[in-house]
Amino acid sequence: MKLTKEEKAMLAGAYGEGTSLAMKVLVAIGEAYDAPYMVPVTRTHVALSNQEADLWFAERLAKGGAVCRVRPTVNPSFNWRACEEFTQLEAEDLAIVKRTHAAYTKLGAIMTYDCTPYLERNVPRFGETIAFSESSATPFVNSVYGARSNRESAQSALCSAVTGVTPYYGFLLDENRAGEVLVHVDADLQDDFDYQMLGYLTPRKTGFAVPVFEGITGPSKEALMNLGAELNTGGNVALYHIVGFTPEAPTREAAFQGRKPQKEVTITRPELDAMREELSAPGGKIDFALYGCPHFTIDQVTTVAEMVKGKTLAVPLFIMTSSLTKNLAQKMGYEEIIRQAGGYIIDDTCMDQPCWKFLYGKKGITDSPKCAYYTKRRQMEFVIAPLKDSVTAALEGRY
Ligand code: F3S
């Protein structure tokens, strides 16, 4: 790769071992993808996972003196103070949270602990070159805003945050942003939940290609959040287009950059229903309800609060969200309503964390296939249902 004088200095260790390692990783990625050079990034988001490998790398960079030139926002870990209200935490889990916090703080990250930064705190503009990790975030920033990011790992995004650059390849190039497979959506998508199923099912038909959806009108921000999260749970999709809606797809021709689709597929209502049937545990008695994968918006919190107002939940209900949304929910009285009913709003927390150990072996309900997918390895089972239906189930204790 052709490196600038400054990039060569970073690689050679002029800014310390941590920065040198970050540049070494980026050069290796660039060489693997035949990138000719690096380009500057103006935003970064790191999918901090609070797990051992994540901690190992962050501590190694921090010990090597690395400091972020483009400060990243970060994904949730778990808010131990909030979780202690309903569970007892283990000392080793608590230790990792604190070490992770210390390492990322030392690196200069902005400790947002939020997996939907693209809605509130780290919002790119059209055409901006950025390095974002996190499965729902990358397709959102690429597709909905028209910013340019590869599907970064937490580590590669952190290396870009430290060095301020990323290798020029993949979705940063015009030609790689063209749609590849035309997806006719032959189903009336009635609510945000339908987009969960559309997202999970699409990669089964389109593989790694860039899908171009036709037949979708006016999706909400929650629908788009769900679509991106599931495109990257059922598959591996960093960019999609919606004809007549996303900025790089004013027309079908524009979405494909004048090329012919490699193939065309159709998605129907019976297929979406069958997808849900396949992903969901059977109905019956449930032990809890868990929401916020990705983090809930204030509108989703409002829906829950309105449904449980003045009632008592039959099972505990947990909502994960950003600290900004939690603060808003407090100000607007929603948190108090949900608490009175027997539920909790927890900020800074991800469902793929050991703070949920007390739910292992139990059966919950959620509106998120991604939540159900990740928690399988933690022996949790989920009925997957539209938000309102699942809150009704939490009020009744069964679905
Ligand atoms: Fe967010 Fe964790 Fe789900 S980062 S999208 S709550 S897996």
Is residue 351 lining ligand 1, measured as CB closer than 6 Å? yes
Indicate whether residue 374 lines ligand 1 (CB < 6 A): yes
The verdict on 144 and 256 lying in the same domain is no
Asked which of 174, 196, 226 is the last residue of a domain, the reply is 174
- Give 56 Cα–ligand 1 centroid separation in angstroms: 21
State whether the beta carbon of 228 lies less than 6 angstroms from ligand 1. Answer: no
pLDDT per residue over 107-149, tens digit each? 999 999 999 999 999 999 999 999 999 999 999 999 999 999 9
The pair of structure tokens assigned to 333 is 């009285």
Q: Which of 231, 248, 277 is the C-terminal boundary of a domain?
A: 277
CA of 296 to the centre of ligand 1 (A): 10
Residue 246 corresponds to which tokens in the numbers above?
Answer: 């996303």
Whether residues 273 and 318 fall in one domain: no
Decide if pLDDT at 32 tops 90.
yes
| pLDDT average, residue stretch 244-251 | 98
- 371 Cα nearest atom in ligand 1: 3
41 and 123 co-located in one domain = yes
Q: Is 45 in the pocket of ligand 1 (CB under 6 A)?
A: no
**Token pair for 250:** 């004013």
**pLDDT digits 0-9 by tens, 294-316:** 999 999 999 999 999 999 999 99
pLDDT of residue 169: 98
Parent domain of 295: 280-396
Judge whether residue 399 has pLDDT over 90. yes
Both 141 and 245 in one domain: the answer is no
201 and 58 assigned to the same domain: no
- For residues 290 and 311, membership in a common domain is answered with yes
Ligand 1 proximity of 352 Cβ (cutoff 6 Å): yes
Q: Which residues pair with 366 in a beta bridge?
A: 384
Which are the contacts of 260, defined by CB distance < 8 A and separation ≥ 6?
Answer: none
Model confidence at 10: pLDDT above 90: yes
Pocket flag, ligand 1, residue 350 (CB < 6 Å): yes
For residue 352, the CA-to-ligand 1 centroid distance in Å is 7
Percentage of the chain exceeding pLDDT 70: 100
Above 90 in pLDDT, residue 22?
yes
**pLDDT confidence of residue 374:** 84
What is the whole-number distance in angstroms between the Cα of residue 119 and the centre of ligand 1? 15
Closest approach atom of ligand 1 to CA 368? 3
Question: How far apart (Å, rounded) are the C-alpha atoms in residues 257 and 286?
Answer: 49
Instruction: Collect all residues with Cβ–Cβ distance below 8 Å to 5 and sequence separation of at least 6.
Output: none
Check if 185 has its Cβ closer than 6 Å to any atom of ligand 1: no
Supply 53's token pair: 């490998």
**Whether residue 161 sits in one domain with residue 42:** yes
Examine the domain organization and report whether 66 and 167 are in the same domain: yes
Q: Which of the four pLDDT bands, split at 50, 70 and 90, describes residue 377?
A: confident
The ligand 1 atom at the shortest distance from the C-alpha of residue 134 is 4
The reported pLDDT for the residue numbered 290 is: 98
Measured in angstroms, how far is the CA atom of residue 350 from the centroid of ligand 1?
Answer: 5
Distance from Cα 136 to the centre of ligand 1, integer Å: 9
CA of 135 to the centre of ligand 1 (A): 8
User: What pLDDT, on a 0 to 100 scale, did the predictor assign at position 245?
Assistant: 98
Ligand 1 centroid to Cα of residue 351, in Å, is 6
Residue 378: pLDDT above 90?
no
The H or E element that residue 388 is part of is helix 387-396
For residue 30, pLDDT beyond 90: yes
Q: Can you give the pLDDT at residue 376?
A: 79
148 and 37 in one domain? yes
Whether the predicted pLDDT of 379 surpasses 90: no
pLDDT score of 291: 98
Q: Which residue's structure tokens are 């035949």? A: 34
What is the average per-residue pLDDT within 205-215?
A: 96
Separation of 134 CA from ligand 1 center, angstroms? Answer: 8
**Residue 75, ligand 1, Cβ within 6 A:** yes
Mean pLDDT of the chain: 97
Last residue of a domain, one of 174, 206, 231: 174
Reported confidence tier of residue 365, pLDDT bands at 50, 70, 90: very high
Q: Given the structure tokens 């919950």, which residue do they identify? A: 364
Does 240 lie in the same domain as 95? no
* Residue of 115, 116, 376 best suited for mutating to test ligand 1, as the one with most atoms within 8 Å of CB: 115
- To the question of pTM greater than 0.75 for the whole model, the response is yes
In angstroms, the Cα distances linking 57 to 50, 54, 100 are: 11, 5, 10
Instruction: Please state the atom number of ligand 1 nearest to the C-alpha of residue 75.
Output: 4
User: Using a 6 Å cutoff on CB, does residue 293 contact ligand 1?
Assistant: yes
Q: Cis peptide before 219, with omega less than 30 degrees from 0?
A: no
Number of compact structural domains in the chain: 3
CB of 131 within 6 A of ligand 1: the answer is no
At 375 the pLDDT is 82
pLDDT tens sequence across 59-102: 999 999 999 999 999 999 999 999 999 999 999 999 999 999 99
CATH number at residue 54: 3.30.499
Q: Rounded to an integer, what distance in angstroms lies between the CA atom of residue 136 and that of residue 300?
A: 17
294 ligand 1 Cβ < 6 A: yes
Residue nearest to atom 2 of ligand 1 (CA): 350
26/156 same-domain check:
yes
Tell me the CATH number at 194.
Answer: 3.40.50
Over residues 242-264, mean pLDDT: 98
Same domain, 132 and 36: yes
- Measure 70 CA to ligand 1 centroid, in angstroms: 23
Residue 49 Cβ contacting ligand 1 at under 6 Å: no
Ligand 1 atom nearest 320 alpha carbon: 6
Q: Which two tokens stand for residue 34?
A: 């035949």
Would you tell me how many other CB atoms lie within 10 Å of the CB of residue 51? 15
Nearest 5 degrees, angle CA 246-CA 161-CA 26? 95
